[in-house]
Amino acid sequence: MKRLLLLRHAKSSWDNPDLADIERPLAPRGVEAALLIGRTIAQRNWLPDRALVSEAERTRETWRLAAGEWLSRPEPSFSRSLYEMPAQAILGEIRRNGEDAETLLVLGHNPGLGDLAESLAGNTSNGKLVKSLKKKFPTGALAVFEFNGDWTGLDVGAATLIHFLRPKDLG
């Protein structure tokens, strides 16, 4: 059974209007959320074997803080292409880069990440979780999926959403 973790970056700061969007750092609330989600991933033993991370500043910071809560972590694969990538393109990245990972983490942005989570869940998952996910995939949220097969076979409706965690649910 494979596990896919879709993590949206934690809350970013808008304090410096001169920064390009890709350069925005985390807000203090985002720092707290990243640490909290990192601890939750460790406590639930969802540690990834492989991580695909957007190279935006806020995703890099979310990765550094969350992964800092783990005893072991993979070397992340940072990708400019994950920044503002649509759902189908993110799915393509997963298929190409999942390799032999049992648990794969993708740390990125909306709307692509949220759209991907909705499409993977399809109608096969817990209706209450899917409804919550479709309502809003906020910053710092984590969608956890399981599916049988290999990463190249991951497709729309093929995974089961087993958890959807938002920072406000954990703090």
The reply to whether the predicted model has a pTM over 0.85 is yes
Helix axes 57-67, 28-43, angle to 10 degrees: 40
Peptide bond connecting 28 to the previous residue in cis, omega within 30 degrees of 0: no
Q: What is the pLDDT of residue 123?
A: 61
Say what the alpha-carbon torsion angle 162, 2, 83, 36 is, to the nearest 10 degrees: 50
State residue 128's pLDDT score. Answer: 85
Chain segment 6-15, per-residue pLDDT in tens:
999 999 999 9
* pLDDT at residue 125, as a whole number: 61
pLDDT tens digits, 39-87 = 999 999 999 999 999 999 999 999 999 999 999 999 999 998 899 899 9
